Structure 1
Amino acid sequence: MSALNLLPVFMVGLAGSVHCIGMCGGIVGALSAASSPRPRPVVAIAVAATGARLHDGAPLRVAAYNAGRIASYMAAGALAGGLAGGAAHLLRLAGLQLAFYWMANLMLVALGLYLMDAWRGLARLEAAGNLVWRRVQPLLKPLLPMDSALKALALGGLWGWLPCGMVYSVLLTAMLSGSALQGALVMLAFGLGTLPTLLALGLVGARLRAAVRRRGVRLAGGLLVLAFGLLGLARAVNGVSLGWLDALCLTGHP
């Protein structure tokens, strides 16, 4: 998979990072004010207000948290790409690959509509994923308060498994990559796309959070992701080639 093929994945992460404000915004903001001597409840951390004054070491903690989060994305991508690629190689299930291709692009369409607040179906998927997250959540307690880069790194690694419709959408693309390495690269590109917003959020705070929650920003991000999904579906119809636009499809046609 070339860097050009990974660019659309990066763009989806960048455009969809407005969704990350709700999912990860509280935890990133809390990293900026992690000087409290008493551990805060996990739920309180998840909804912590951003914009607190930066304390010594906050930029390092924010960077460590995001490094852990992206590492967990890459692990999930490697797992998805390796398992799906191995199954396809052994069973030669071309029809299954085609089904995953359609699912991946339909998920992008759903994600675009979700970001635009036009359809909330992915919220139900995230709610179902909470069953898994409840088993992971107790592991966060020893990491609070987040007063060191090492704790932030570990917390980011766990937080990357938080149920998220956007991550699920891109994981389907990682499944189609054909190998564990390519799946990890897909999720790395996605994670790097989300990085600018979350880094800025951890260092700037509430002003950025308010800006990216504006309807116009969410609409623009949703439209971009929706366009990627529709482009992939158009390419899937009768296997038609879109010329140079093929490079903008997140998944190669099986």
Structure 2
Amino acid sequence: MNPTGLELPPMMAAFVFGLLGGAHCIGMCGGIMSALTFAIPPSMRQPWRVSTLVLGYNVGRITSYCVAGALVAALGSVIGLSPTLRGLMQIVASLMLILMALYIADLWKGLRHVEALGRHLWRYLEPAGRRLLPVVRLPQAVALGAIWGWLPCGLVYSMLAWSLARAEPLEGALLMASFGLGTLPALVVTGLAARQMQALLAHRATRLVAAGMIIAFAVWQLWTGLHQ
């Protein structure tokens, strides 16, 4: 039983996690968004076209998150996680968020070892993404975003741990969709105002504030999860 009565529904919590993790998204994917924006031929950089391509990248990326969430949740269903193990996976996800906050703040980089787990798959996908460059049409942007969604990322992996705990493919997909929508503002703004966002992220104070907010939210989720 949660004594605080303040537990967020899983989808809303996933959205907030994505929103607060925006600093990591900008740090990890901001360079990609900037490169893709600047790679558009100058004669084709009309605001409407750039905005359409940026949204296309993110539609593809979030779609891949949904697929990954459904797959790991299906795995959880197959292995038949007990309620205790499901709760444990949610705790692991919250702890990974705390580690991610330390990563964002440049206080501890150990989470890179977790991200390295996905590099084997990325080694095969990355060349396919290169063949789509330069991106000048919406279908290209969506396809490249779908590949980009499999980029190794500790923040994504922490949410996939939650999806595994849900042990229901549709719930896993919706959880990752909510998370992806939470990351959307940071990456859309980065794509449309790349130089300004990179300059903002360069300030250590920005990263520390973002890290502090993530830690506070993760601790809250841990507290409510342990008292259900």
Assess same fold via TM > 0.5: yes
Alignment correspondent of 1:183: 172
Alignment correspondent of 2:70: 78
Instruction: Give 1:55's match in structure 2, choosing from 28, 45, 63.
Output: 45
Structure 1 residue runs of 4 or more that deviate by more than 6 Å after TM superposition:
none
Which amino acid letter does the alignment assign opposite residue 183 of structure 2? T
Q: Is the 8 A contact 1:32 1:54 kept in 2?
A: no
TM (normalized to structure 2)? Answer: 0.87
Alignment correspondent of 1:141: 130
Q: Which ranges of structure 2 fall in alignment gaps of 5 or more residues? A: 1-6
Query: CA offsets, 1:199-232, max 9 Å, x none?
Result: 1111112012211332222112212221232233
Shift of 1:54: 7.3
Q: Does 1:103 align with 2:92?
A: yes
Q: Percentage identity across aligned positions?
A: 39
TM (normalized to structure 1)? Answer: 0.78
Q: Does 1:173 align with 2:162?
A: yes
Q: Is the 8 A contact 1:12 1:224 kept in 2?
A: no
Q: Is the 8 A contact 1:6 1:186 kept in 2?
A: yes
Superposition pairs for residues 1-254 of structure 1, below 5 Å? 4-36=9-41, 55-56=45-46, 57-88=49-80, 93-235=82-224, 239-241=226-228
SS of aligned partner of 1:143: coil
Shift of 1:95: 4.2
Which amino acid letter does the alignment assign opposite residue 143 of structure 1? L
Greater mean deviation of Cα atoms: 13-22 or 127-136: 127-136
> CA separation in 2, counterparts of 1:8 and 1:94?
19
Greater mean deviation of Cα atoms: 168-177 or 102-111: 102-111
> CA separation in 2, counterparts of 1:114 and 1:94?
30
Q: Is the 8 A contact 1:114 1:122 kept in 2?
A: yes
SS of aligned partner of 2:166: coil
> CA separation in 2, counterparts of 1:68 and 1:27?
14
Which amino acid letter does the alignment assign opposite residue 240 of structure 1? H
SS of aligned partner of 1:121: coil
SS of aligned partner of 2:38: coil
> CA separation in 1, counterparts of 2:82 and 2:13?
26
Shift of 1:66: 0.6
Instruction: Mark the CA change 1:70 to 1:53 in structure 2 (over 3 Å): closer, same or farther.
Output: farther
Instruction: Mark the CA change 1:105 to 1:4 in structure 2 (over 3 Å): closer, same or farther.
Output: closer
What is the root-mean-square deviation in Å for CA atoms of aligned residues?
2.3
Greater mean deviation of Cα atoms: 182-191 or 123-132: 123-132
Which amino acid letter does the alignment assign opposite residue 45 of structure 2? H
- How many residues end up aligned between the 2 structures? 220
Instruction: Mark the CA change 1:54 to 1:125 in structure 2 (over 3 Å): closer, same or farther.
Output: farther
> CA separation in 2, counterparts of 1:177 and 1:137?
30
Query: CA offsets, 1:144-177, max 9 Å, x none?
Result: 1112111111110000000001110111111122
Which amino acid letter does the alignment assign opposite residue 71 of structure 2? L
Shift of 1:113: 1.7
